[in-house]
């Protein structure tokens, strides 16, 4: 979806690239200062971003850059070639900068840009997801975003939507020609998601048009385009349904593609195999710690009853019992809200890292369009709206059937709910974001490394508990280990399924028996691993890399080591791959 370009844009793009090249040449004369090189690099990276948004107008809309909101790229071979040209042009431009003469922040930017371009090239030429992932063609989410997010007056957004809608029939027609050997699971996902988004065209958009103050004639044209767009979606769905099931490629990536994708997406200093091996060792460690705690807690909860000899059964019994301590559906939101200031106080008292009091987290009830995703999530301002509010969306359990609410509250019990707040909010995702937004580098925001972002959130869970959060209660540690086991098993599952051909049956055994997950959760995870790859491993790989870095710094600094300095320094580089942050921190 992000690899396409209209012909007319290609001309503009080439012009901007040529300008960039000329600038680069000007930096080359001998005796040039590093300052000049850095200034030029900064100018080039700004131009790169501008060119990127012409190349990826749909992505631009989503990050809050609205210059190209009226453009929809048609995923045909022309677009494919334009993308390759964009990649080659910028890889050439980047080569002209001597990495060693750039500031640390620019060094990271350069490597992130290079990785993005190389990954894109590999994706187009080797992975070829465009030919086997029918769910990569879907415009309904983009139009929904433009209708919902109020970044411009409604009339203006409707007009941009209209321009894009006019291209939707051509978009889906091109999609049909691209699909060569669809993965069956992704074919089904594409059918579900495209049908699920149909009401955006048939209802939401038309309702908004009718409510607007636009001239009647324009409204008529808009409604007509929406109907044609809906027809194109239905036609695409019929096409997908007509494809013989099981005729395409397997959803399993296979070792070669997985290893390479891991390299590009995670940007780890470990290989995928090393990361998997480390997760397996971590699982063994967690099981043994959990068994120790469970034995020590047995008599507190089970008195003189005989203790199970199988340690996994023993742990499972303790987890089930301790999970019964939880809040109520009515108090779910207020329980979360009350915890935020408690977490802040703990971090300040223990001096774990500086929390900027001028950037408060706004806790709000989950907006209607997110409804259904209970729990909590962060809505962060995009890189073009750094001063916007950060919201902590808290889902409501109102109206849930009692049994479903009970099962949910056991999962997010007294202990896990606190860990969730650490992960999502403070000092996890929310705090990391505040630090990242201080960095002037747009590149790091746009190309932000998912493994670093998720790894930080997981690392903070452990960092808080190690610092005494939860008073070292064994129940808290047991529950965190279970939560951490989920992260670890995500990695094991992802690698085993995509590389080692793990069966669904074995996967369910791993998740329910060894990771203590409920059947429904495990089923959901199986579905997720069959429609994604590598993403599930980002949590553990990032966590492991950050933890290893901290231990190295600790050893290196000895008595001078200070946790607060480590945390703040680490975050100061923005959302960059841990590998690059490590190089800079260890070389100081």
Give how far the C-alpha of residue 486 lies from the chain's centroid of Cα atoms, to the nearest Å.
17
Query: Which residue, 454 or 475, has its beta carbon nearer to Zn ion?
Result: 454
Shortest reach from residue 454's CB to Zn ion, in Å: 5
Q: Interface residues for Zn ion in 333-362 (CB under 5 A)?
A: none
CA distances from 117 to 85, 111, 177, 384 (A): 11, 10, 25, 22
Structure tokens at 408: 């949910």
Prior bond to 127 cis, omega within 30?
A: no
How many beta carbons lie within 10 A of that of residue 292, not counting itself?
A: 15
Identify whether the C-beta of residue 409 lies closer than 8 Å to the C-beta of residue 319: no
The DSSP bridge partners found for residue 393 are 364, 377
457 binds Zn ion (CB under 5 A): yes
9 binds Zn ion (CB under 5 A): no
419 binds Zn ion (CB under 5 A): no
Span from 6-14, 209-217, 278-286, 448-456 in contact with Zn ion (CB under 5 A) = 448-456
Q: Interface residues for Zn ion in 107-166 (CB under 5 A)?
A: none
The DSSP bridge partners found for residue 379 are 391
- The stretches of 201-310 forming alpha helices (DSSP H) are 205-211, 216-242, 255-266, 272-302
Shortest reach from residue 324's CB to Zn ion, in Å: 5
Dist. CA 502–CA 294, nearest whole Å: 30
Query: Which residue, 320 or 342, has its beta carbon nearer to Zn ion?
Result: 320
Structure tokens at 280: 């397996």
Shortest reach from residue 514's CB to Zn ion, in Å: 22
Structure tokens at 287: 């099981």
Query: Which residue, 109 or 454, has its beta carbon nearer to Zn ion?
Result: 454
Start-to-end CA distance of the chain, whole Å, equals 41
What is the 8-class DSSP label of residue 276?
Answer: H
Shortest reach from residue 442's CB to Zn ion, in Å: 22
Span from 63-71, 255-263, 276-284, 454-462 in contact with Zn ion (CB under 5 A) = 454-462
Dist. CA 105–CA 442, nearest whole Å: 11
Q: Provide, for the chain, the percentages of residues in helix, strand and coil under a 3-state DSSP scheme, each rounded to the nearest 5.
A: 70, 0, 30
Shortest reach from residue 378's CB to Zn ion, in Å: 8
∠110-111-112 over CA atoms, to 5°? 90
Span from 14-22, 450-458, 468-476, 514-522 in contact with Zn ion (CB under 5 A) = 450-458
Q: Return the SS3 of 303.
A: coil
Span from 94-102, 120-128, 446-454, 571-579 in contact with Zn ion (CB under 5 A) = 446-454
Shortest reach from residue 487's CB to Zn ion, in Å: 10
Shortest reach from residue 406's CB to Zn ion, in Å: 5
Count residues contacting Zn ion (CB under 5 A)? 2
Query: Which residue, 5 or 376, has its beta carbon nearer to Zn ion?
Result: 376
How many beta carbons lie within 10 A of that of residue 504, not counting itself?
A: 13
Shortest reach from residue 263's CB to Zn ion, in Å: 22
Query: Which residue, 267 or 490, has its beta carbon nearer to Zn ion?
Result: 490
Identify whether the C-beta of residue 200 lies closer than 8 Å to the C-beta of residue 165: no
Over the window 212 to 251, marking each residue x when it contacts Zn ion by CB under 5 A and - when it does not, the resulting string is: ----------------------------------------
Shortest reach from residue 413's CB to Zn ion, in Å: 8
Query: Which residue, 251 or 543, has its beta carbon nearer to Zn ion?
Result: 543
Query: Which residue, 24 or 454, has its beta carbon nearer to Zn ion?
Result: 454
Burial per residue of 532-555, b for 16 or more beta-carbon CB atoms within 10 angstroms, e otherwise: ebbbbbbbbbbbbbbbebbeebee
The residue number with the shortest CB distance to Zn ion is 457
Span from 43-51, 111-119, 455-463, 571-579 in contact with Zn ion (CB under 5 A) = 455-463
Shortest reach from residue 160's CB to Zn ion, in Å: 31
Question: For binding to Zn ion (CB under 5 A), which residues are involved?
Answer: 454, 457
């Amino acid at each position: 979806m992000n690899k396409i370009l209209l012909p007319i844009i290609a001309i503009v793009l080439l012009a901007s690239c040529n300008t960039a090249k000329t600038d680069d040449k000007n930096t080359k004369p001998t005796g040039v200062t590093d300052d000049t090189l850095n200034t030029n690099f900064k100018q080039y990276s700004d131009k790169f971003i501008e060119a990127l948004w012409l190349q990826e107008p749909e992505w631009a809309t989503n990050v809050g850059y609205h210059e190209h909101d009226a453009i929809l790229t048609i995923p045909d071979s022309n677009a494919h070639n334009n993308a390759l040209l964009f990649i080659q042009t910028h890889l050439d431009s980047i080569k002209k900068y001597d990495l060693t003469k750039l500031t640390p922040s620019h060094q990271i930017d350069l490597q992130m840009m290079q990785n993005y371009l190389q990954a894109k090239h590999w994706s187009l030429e080797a992975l070829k997801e465009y030919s086997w992932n029918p769910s990569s063609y879907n415009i309904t989410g983009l139009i929904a975003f433009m209708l919902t997010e109020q970044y411009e007056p409604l009339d203006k957004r409707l007009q941009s939507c209209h321009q894009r809608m006019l291209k939707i029939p051509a978009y889906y027609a091109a999609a049909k020609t691209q699909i060569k050997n669809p993965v069956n699971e992704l074919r089904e996902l594409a059918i579900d998601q495209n049908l699920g988004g149909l009401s955006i065209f048939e209802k939401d958009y038309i309702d908004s048009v009718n409510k607007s103050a636009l001239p009647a004639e324009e409204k008529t044209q808009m409604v007509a385009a929406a109907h044609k767009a809906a027809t194109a979606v239905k036609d695409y769905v019929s096409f997908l349904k007509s494809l013989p099931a099981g005729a395409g490629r397997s959803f399993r990536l296979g070792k070669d593609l997985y290893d390479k994708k891991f390299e590009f997406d995670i940007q780890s200093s470990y290989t995928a195999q090393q990361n998997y091996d480390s997760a397996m060792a971590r699982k063994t460690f967690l099981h043994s710690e959990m068994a120790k705690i469970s034995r020590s807690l047995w008599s507190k909860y089970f008195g003189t009853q005989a203790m199970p000899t199988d340690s996994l059964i023993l742990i499972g019994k303790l987890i089930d019992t301790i999970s019964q301590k939880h809040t109520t559906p009515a108090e779910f939101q207020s329980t979360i809200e009350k915890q935020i200031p408690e977490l802040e106080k703990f971090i300040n008292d223990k001096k774990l890292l500086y929390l900027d009091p001028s950037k408060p987290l706004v806790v709000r009830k989950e907006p209607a369009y997110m409804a259904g995703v209970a729990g909590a999530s962060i809505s962060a301002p995009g890189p073009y709206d750094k001063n916007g509010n950060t919201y902590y969306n808290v889902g409501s359990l109102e109206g849930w059937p009692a049994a479903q609410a009970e099962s949910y509250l056991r999962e997010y019990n007294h202990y896990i709910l606190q860990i969730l707040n650490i992960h999502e909010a403070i000092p996890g995702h929310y705090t990391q974001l505040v630090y990242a937004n201080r960095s002037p580098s747009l590149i790091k925001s746009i190309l932000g490394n998912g493994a670093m972002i998720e790894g930080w959130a997981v690392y903070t869970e452990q960092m808080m508990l190690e610092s005494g959060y939860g008073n070292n209660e064994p129940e808290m540690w047991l529950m965190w280990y279970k939560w951490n086991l989920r992260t670890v098993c995500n990695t094991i599952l992802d690698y085993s399924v995509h590389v080692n051909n793990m069966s669904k049956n074995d996967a369910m055994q791993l998740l329910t028996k060894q990771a203590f997950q409920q059947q429904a959760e495990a089923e959901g995870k199986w579905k997720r691993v069959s429609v994604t790859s590598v993403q599930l491993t980002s949590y553990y790989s990032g966590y492991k890399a950050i933890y290893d870095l901290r231990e190295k710094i600790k050893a290196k600094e000895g008595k001078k080591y200070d946790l607060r300095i480590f945390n703040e320094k680490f975050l100061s580089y923005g959302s960059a791959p841990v590998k690059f942050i490590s190089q800079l921190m260890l070389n100081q």
